[in-house]
Each structure stands twice: as structure tokens, then as C-alpha cells.
């Protein structure tokens, strides 16, 4: 149990376009989802926290107008990178937790390459 999926696993897009990444909890209801970003050979950095039905809370330095997060249901959150630039190229990982707390379940990640 507690499986989280991400789609797509890999995406290449042109500079200036927008890309949407989906994060789904497959067998549980995720009251909270988190979006992380990982640069090569570095740790995961939290971008934002989203609670179902509420606006996401962004970490300092993360542009909320550039990284749009929607958590419309208890099983789906989306991250849209708007007007992508090469410096947005990274590995994006989501995680989800449910009411009982304590543990987050991670998706397999999405590799974004902006050319």
C-alpha cells in the first residue's frame, strides 16, 4: 500500500513553454502533498506544501506564479512550471501523507529538461 505515482517520468520542453507534472496517491487519500526539487548530486529542497482544497504554501525563494500547484482532490496534485527556462531543468519529486501522520510516501520523480 501507500503508492504514489508521478507523470510524466521524463519530459523535454522548449524554453518559454509550460509543463504540467501530476502526482497521484493510488491507494490512499493524501490530505497533504509536498513538492521537492533536486539538482544533480544535491539534496531535496522543499518547494511547497499543498493541502487539499487550499492554496499551496511556498517556501521562501520559490516563485508561486512560476510554479503553480493545484491540489484539487485527495488523490491528485499538479505542479505546472510556467514559461520554463533552462535553469528550471531539474528532478521534481512529490510526496504525499495522510491523516494519521508521520510518514510521507514519495513518487518516483519527474526529470524535466528545458532546451
Partner 1 sequence: AQSVTQLDSQVPVFEEAPVELRCNYSSSVSVYLFWYVQYPNQGLQLLLKYLSGSTLVKGINGFEAEFNKSQTSFHLRKPSVHISDTAEYFCAVSGPSGNTPLVFGKGTRLSVIA
For residue 18, give the 3-state DSSP assignment: coil
Summarize as ranges the residues that interact with partner 1 (CB under 8 A).
6, 31-32, 34, 42-46, 49, 51, 91, 93, 95, 97-109, 111
| Nearer to partner 1 (CB atom), residue 18 or residue 113 | 113
Residue 54 Cβ, how far from partner 1 at the closest point, in Å? 11
Residue 34 Cβ, how far from partner 1 at the closest point, in Å? 5
For 32-100, the DSSP string reads EEEEEEE-TTS-EEEEEEEETTSPPEEPTT--TTTEEEEEEETTEEEEEE-S--GGG-EEEEEEEE-TT
| Nearer to partner 1 (CB atom), residue 86 or residue 101 | 101
| Nearer to partner 1 (CB atom), residue 38 or residue 82 | 38
Amino acid at each position: 500500500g501507500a503508492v504514489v505515482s508521478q507523470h510524466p517520468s521524463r519530459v523535454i520542453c522548449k524554453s518559454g513553454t509550460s509543463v504540467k507534472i501530476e502526482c497521484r496517491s493510488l491507494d490512499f487519500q493524501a490530505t497533504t502533498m509536498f513538492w521537492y526539487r533536486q539538482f544533480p548530486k544535491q539534496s531535496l529542497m522543499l518547494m511547497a506544501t499543498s493541502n487539499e482544497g487550499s492554496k499551496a504554501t511556498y517556501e521562501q525563494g520559490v516563485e508561486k506564479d512560476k510554479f503553480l500547484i493545484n491540489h484539487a482532490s485527495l488523490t491528485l496534485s499538479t505542479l505546472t512550471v510556467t514559461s520554463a527556462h533552462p535553469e528550471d531543468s531539474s528532478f521534481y519529486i512529490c510526496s504525499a501523507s495522510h491523516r494519521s501522520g508521520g510518514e510521507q510516501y514519495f513518487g518516483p520523480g519527474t526529470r524535466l529538461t528545458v532546451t
